[in-house]
Structure 1
């Protein structure tokens, strides 16, 4: 199944504990209602990224879905748009995000 990864950084001044509470209480809750999602977890990066220590990235999201096309439709839905407005309005520096998709080698 396809997996989308997001590497992200908080906006200056954002409290990591506040963001992480939002992930648990709002982000994870919405994803649990969407049947396309197989697995979704946000990981805090602990320590420097080897080979790119100055990157400053703080979080890695692993989003396993049945369909990337459906994932994009979910993000474009009213609930998805509202969630992303909260995410980027309050917490993440969107200009520093890195996205990519991958597939597991079976």
Structure 2
């Protein structure tokens, strides 16, 4: 199984409430319905483990992918392109990391 992990902070001036509302009502339902996706979750960071220090990223997304080809095709859909544009309006230089299980 593959996973795509996305690390990001919100852009300056973006409301946490606005982003989290959009994530819960648009991003999570849309991505979870995509072909090739087994699960998608968005995590808000709390701190660095074992420390009170802030994590370097405010949010982490984890997309569990069972079929990468189907997933990549689905990303080209007009609706998903709109969702991706909206995400880019919230996220400041997100980092997308493709992974696979050992």
Regarding TM over 0.5, the answer is: yes
Q: Choose 6-15 or 69-78, whichever is displaced more.
A: 69-78
- In 2: Cα distance, 1:26 partner to 1:60 partner: 16
**TM-score, normalised with respect to structure 1:** 0.81
Instruction: Kindly report the root-mean-square deviation, in angstroms, between the aligned alpha carbons of the 2 structures.
Output: 2.1
State the distance in 2 between where 1:31 and 1:14 align.
22
**Cα distance, 1:64 vs. partner?**
0.4
Aligned residue number for residue 99 of structure 2: 102
4+ residue stretches of structure 1 with deviation over 3 A? 53-56
Distance in 1 (CA, whole Å) between partners of 2:66 and 2:99 is 12
In the superposition, the TM-score normalised over structure 2's length comes to 0.83
Q: Which has the higher strand share?
A: 2
Deviates more, 1:80-89 or 1:29-38: 29-38
- The correspondence of residues 9-88 of structure 1 with structure 2, limited to 5 A, is 9-48=9-48, 56-88=56-88
